[in-house]
């Protein structure tokens, strides 16, 4: 099978009862003459695998032609030496996906690659457009055929459309023409789009990086020995030997080509609103955001949690791996010894073999085993980063009791999640969010813990600002309900229109 023939994998990786929210995806773009950019992109995506595990893809260009391969599965399952070989050229973009809009199917895998009057155009997108249905209707009325249920195809088609097809208000109020026609098209898209987007864009001879005016989703720039790279997180830069330069600013368009880095500020941000869940869970702890390492910020959250929700206990243990920094912080502040109490099977989520009913009923035992020698007779503070649906915490508490713990005091290094996210995070619906239905004491009873404590919203913001300073704002809408942008009412109505639309596509998958 060559790179243009895409096969569908019929069995997705095993779904455990993981209660964490899911990110939309990770993106990367590389301009590096003389380098094997497809291989660099592969390893960059491998470093971003934590941001999405449903599909992966790479599109490349040699200055004349574009090449693509994408499929359903993990990065290492989608790409082999045979699949990378046809992806020629010195420019490439890559994408690893977790679906928040659109179903899990090959038609929704990214990047998207279309042919335009100016040559090939490839798009990788992290985020959600809150006005995607309006843009979709606009395209359909123009006669544009759409083949997927994801808003990324909408981004591609809006960018590909000739400017005389844009709405009249864009042609009337747009900035003076730019010598680079793609800059004009990106500007036009940014005037139309609402919501969250960090984009990597592949053209015949340049890579573009675009971040929405609020900076809801992360994006950073790095320097290679023979070129430049943009990626969702700095951990991807480190993996491929690139030096971190800076973040892409909210509202900024960055072009990477033979002239180096060109920056255009298209939309001046009124405020900044990076998703605070990047610090709570999404980002790798070794990544830098807001100029600081994420690990430090999580430790700061753990320290603040110890001040706000102390516990009469013997040891502090984390739910591995994401809660480790917060547990270290809690231990340092409280004086309680930090120990390991759960061993994680790090590969259980990477198999395509589904468990039988008896294994499935074991739930978290597929993913964790208790360290009985550390737990026997101990009063335990169990640190986790969040409770979303409440499906994991109860089984974890019972697992620790079976391992010999006499008391389990659960502490969460974020506030209760009470509101859905519509900006690129799978944060469930009101009906599914346990924090929207139950109070803290009720959740404690539900999960079977001896006590339950959350970091307050004010404490979380303080912990973040103690490390990164007050210069940047953050979106904490899933905790507060204070959304930084207007959310269409239909999105709150159980996503009825979207579910009907996606069900139509699911029947043909």
Please identify which of the residues 25, 220, 421, 475 carries the catalytic annotation: 25
Q: Would you give the DSSP letter of residue 101? A: S
Buried b (16+ CB within 10 A) or exposed e, 182-215: bbbbbbbbbbbbbbbbbbbbbbbebbbbbbbbbb
The counts of H helices and E strands in the chain are 19, 25
Decide if 371 contacts 341 (C-beta within 8 A). Answer: yes
SS (H, E, C) 25-89: EEEEEEECCCCCHHHHHHHHHHHCHHHCCCEEEEEEECCCCEEEEEEECCHHHHCCHHHHCCCCC
How far apart, in Å, are the Cα atoms of 205 and each of 7, 33, 210?
29, 11, 17
Cα first-last separation, the chain: 21
Strands 198-202 and 425-426, by their bridges, are: unpaired
CA atoms within 13 A on the CB side of 413: 36
How far apart CA 301 and CA 294 sit, in angstroms, is 11
Decide if 415 contacts 479 (C-beta within 8 A). Answer: yes
For every residue of 110-127, DSSP letters joined together read S-EEEEETTEEEEEEEES
How far apart CA 34 and CA 191 sit, in angstroms, is 36
How far apart CA 247 and CA 39 sit, in angstroms, is 24
Burial of 463: CB neighbours in 10 Å, binned 0-12, 13-18, 19+: buried
Place of tokens 């009791």: 401
Decide if 191 contacts 170 (C-beta within 8 A). Answer: yes
How many residues in total does the chain contain?
Answer: 509
Whether 475 is a known active-site residue: answer no
Instruction: Tell me the catalytic residues.
Output: 25
């Amino acid at each position: 099978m060559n790179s243009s023939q895409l096969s569908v994998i019929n069995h997705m990786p095993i779904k455990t009862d993981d209660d964490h929210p899911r990110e939309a995806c990770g993106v990367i773009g590389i301009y590096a003459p003389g380098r094997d950019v497809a291989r660099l992109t592969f390893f960059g995506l491998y470093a971003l695998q934590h941001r999405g595990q449903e599909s992966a893809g790479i599109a490349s260009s040699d200055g004349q032609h574009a090449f693509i391969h994408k499929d359903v599965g993990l990065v290492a399952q989608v790409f082999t030496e045979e699949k990378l070989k046809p992806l020629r050229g010195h420019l490439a973009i890559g994408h690893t996906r977790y679906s928040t809009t659109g179903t899990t199917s090959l038609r929704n895998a990214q990047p998207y690659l279309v042919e335009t009057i100016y040559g090939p155009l490839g798009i990788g997108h992290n985020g959600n457009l809150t006005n995607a249905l309006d843009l979709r209707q606009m395209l359909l009325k123009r006669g544009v055929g759409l083949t997927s249920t994801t808003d990324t195809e909408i981004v591609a088609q809006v960018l590909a459309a000739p400017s005389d097809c844009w709405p009249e208000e864009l042609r009337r109020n747009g900035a003076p023409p730019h010598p680079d026609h793609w800059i004009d098209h990106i500007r036009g898209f940014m005037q139309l789009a609402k919501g969250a987007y960090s984009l990597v864009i592949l053209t015949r001879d340049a890579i573009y990086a675009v971040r929405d005016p609020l900076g809801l989703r992360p994006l950073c720039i790095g320097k290679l020995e023979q070129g430049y790279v943009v990626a969702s997180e700095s951990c991807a830069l480190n993996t491929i030997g690139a030096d971190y330069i800076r973040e892409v600013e909210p509202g900024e368009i960055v072009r990477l080509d033979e002239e180096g880095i060109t920056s255009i500020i298209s939309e001046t941000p009124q405020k900044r609103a990076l998703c605070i869940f990047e610090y709570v869970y999404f980002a790798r702890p070794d990544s830098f955001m807001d100029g600081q390492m994420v690990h430090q910020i999580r430790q700061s959250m753990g320290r603040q949690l110890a001040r706000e929700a102390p516990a009469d206990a013997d040891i502090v243990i984390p739910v591995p791996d994401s809660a480790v920094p917060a547990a270290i912080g809690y231990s340092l502040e409280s004086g309680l010894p930090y120990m390991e109490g759960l061993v994680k099977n790090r590969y259980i989520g990477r198999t395509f073999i589904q468990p039988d009913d008896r294994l499935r009923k074991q739930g978290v035992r597929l993913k964790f085993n208790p360290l009985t020698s550390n737990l026997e007779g101990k009063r335990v503070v169990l640190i986790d980063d969040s409770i979303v649906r409440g499906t994991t915490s109860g089984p974890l508490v019972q697992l620790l009791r079976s391992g010999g713990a006499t008391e389990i005091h659960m502490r969460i290094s974020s506030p209760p999640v009470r509101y859905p996210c519509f900006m690129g995070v799978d944060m469930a619906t009101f009906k599914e969010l346990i924090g929207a239905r139950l109070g803290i004491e009720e959740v404690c009873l539900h999960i079977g813990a001896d006590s339950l404590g959350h970091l307050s919203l004010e404490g979380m913001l303080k912990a973040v600002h103690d490390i990164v300073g007050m210069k940047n704002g953050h979106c904490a809408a899933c905790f507060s309900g204070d959304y930084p942008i207007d959310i269409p009412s239909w999105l709150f109505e159980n996503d009825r229109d979207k579910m009907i639309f996606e069900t139509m596509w699911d029947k043909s998958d």
